[in-house]
């Protein structure tokens, strides 16, 4: 698809370049041959009127000013015209040759960002359909198996419905995350931005993860300086919900999660640190990739998720012109560090 578009664009570039070049050549041809004829006629005039040179008589400037019959050698004029035409033809041929390469190269460069965007969208659709397919297949299989059961009782139906509901909930989580990721990917810095108190953002995020932390008897300690950020309230709250939710999800009962911050000039460095299962070295470079789940969380059923949270988090940080990084040690804990602009 893109090779065809690239060739078409190259042809359009060539058409424009050649149209300009040929127009210029015509102007040059007409102008130079006319000038040459004029000079020849002046020369002839001077030869026929030698007194005009001696008396320093003003020579005629225009063709029309030269009295007839001053007719320069027609064969000489024709030969010069042919030579000029050949020269211009050669120049145009060279322009055509070089602009074909340049046009093809430029067409490639013009189309590259569009190609990358389309490739990215295709990858997104493939990944999303793959992830959607797994819970849907399990839902379908459970229903089919139970439908074939001749001793299907109300009790069994209730159990089936409860399990179906779990699958549906999980599908809803996936679809919500996909929508969020897509929304943030489409935003190009055009979010509503205001001055926000960091503590307020973290309190809002805490409200959303408190229940889960209480369930696992996990303490969340927050120690922040009073500082204002410049950013979008909803997305920054979402960022800390993702990090706190992961910190709680990937920690064993009774552990502690710490959130702290340090101010540097116009920046604030915020860390979210847990004492959880950690991330293996080989997984670390990929954890911000869409749908990536570290081996440990993929194999264990108690850590549910789709590997979208951290890609959303990274996108939010990027939209705020900030950075996010991670340090981790297996079975010791994980520390996420975020650098954001202060107000």
Q: Does 277 bind ligand ADP (CB under 6 A)?
A: yes
Name the segment binding ligand ADP (CB under 6 A); options: 16-24, 53-61, 150-158, 277-285: 277-285
Nearest CB to ligand ADP, comparing residues 107 and 218: 218
**Nearest approach, Cβ of 130 to ligand ADP (angstroms)?**
15
**Nearest approach, Cβ of 112 to ligand ADP (angstroms)?**
28
Q: Does 240 bind ligand ADP (CB under 6 A)?
A: no
Q: Does 293 bind ligand ADP (CB under 6 A)?
A: yes
Q: Does 307 bind ligand ADP (CB under 6 A)?
A: yes
Q: Does 250 bind ligand ADP (CB under 6 A)?
A: yes
State which of residues 107, 205, 259, 294 lies at the interface with ligand ADP (CB under 6 A). 294
State which of residues 88, 198, 202, 279 lies at the interface with ligand ADP (CB under 6 A). 279
Q: Does 255 bind ligand ADP (CB under 6 A)?
A: no
- What does the H/E/C string look like for the chain? CHHHHHHHHHHHHHHHHHHHHHHHHHHHHHHHHHHHHHHHHHHHHHHHCCHHHHCCCCCCCCHHHCCCCCCCCHHHHHHHHHHHHHHHHHHHHHHHHHHHHHHHHHHHHHHHHHHHHHHHHHHHHHHHHHHHHHHHHHHHHHHHHHHHCCCCCHHHHHHHHHHHHHHHHHHHHHHHHHHHHHHHHHCCCCCCCEEEEHHHHHHHHHHHHHHHHHHCCCEEEEECCCCEEEECHHHHHHHHHHHHHHHHHCCCCCCEEEEEEEEECCEEEEEEEECCCCCCCCCHHHCCCCCCCCHHHHHCCCCCCCCCHHHHHHHHHHHCCCEEEEEEECCCEEEEEEEEEEC
Nearest CB to ligand ADP, comparing residues 88 and 257: 257
Name the segment binding ligand ADP (CB under 6 A); options: 161-169, 182-190, 217-225, 276-284: 276-284
**Nearest approach, Cβ of 297 to ligand ADP (angstroms)?**
4
Q: Which residues bind ligand ADP (CB under 6 A)?
A: 246-247, 250, 274, 276-279, 287, 292-294, 297, 305-310, 334
């Amino acid at each position: 698809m893109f090779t065809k578009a690239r060739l078409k664009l190259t042809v359009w570039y060539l058409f424009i370049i050649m149209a300009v070049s040929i127009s210029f050549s015509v102007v040059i041809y007409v102008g130079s041959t006319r000038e040459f004829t004029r000079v020849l006629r002046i020369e002839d005039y001077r030869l026929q009127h030698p007194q005009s040179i001696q008396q320093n008589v003003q020579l005629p400037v225009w063709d029309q000013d030269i009295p007839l019959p001053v007719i320069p050698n027609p064969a000489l004029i024709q030969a010069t015209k042919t030579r000029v035409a050949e020269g211009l033809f050669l120049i145009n041929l060279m322009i055509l040759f070089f602009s074909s390469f340049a046009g093809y190269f430029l067409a490639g460069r013009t189309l590259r960002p569009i190609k990358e965007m389309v490739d990215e969208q295709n990858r997104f659709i493939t990944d999303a359909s793959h992830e959607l397919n797994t819970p849907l297949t399990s839902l379908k299989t459970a229903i089919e198996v139970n439908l074939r059961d001749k001793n299907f009782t109300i009790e069994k139906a209730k159990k089936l419905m409860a399990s179906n509901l779990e699958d549906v909930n999980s599908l809803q989580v996936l679809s919500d995350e996909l929508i969020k990721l897509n929304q943030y990917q489409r935003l190009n810095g055009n979010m509503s931005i205001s001055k926000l108190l960091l503590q307020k953002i973290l309190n809002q995020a805490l409200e959303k993860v408190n229940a889960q932390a209480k369930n696992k008897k996990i303490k969340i300690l927050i120690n922040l300086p009073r500082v204002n950020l410049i950013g979008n309230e909803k997305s920054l709250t979402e960022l800390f919900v993702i990090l706190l939710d992961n910190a709680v999800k990937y920690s064993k009962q009774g552990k502690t999660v710490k959130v702290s911050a340090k101010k540097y000039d116009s920046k604030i460095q915020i860390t979210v640190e847990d004492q959880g299962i950690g991330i293996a070295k080989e997984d670390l470079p990929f954890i911000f990739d869409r749908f990536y789940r570290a081996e440990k969380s993929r194999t264990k059923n108690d850590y549910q998720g789709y590997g979208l949270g951290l890609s959303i988090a990274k996108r939010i940080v990027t939209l705020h012109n900030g950075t996010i990084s991670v340090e981790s040690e297996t079975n010791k804990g994980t520390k996420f560090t975020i650098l954001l602009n202060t107000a």
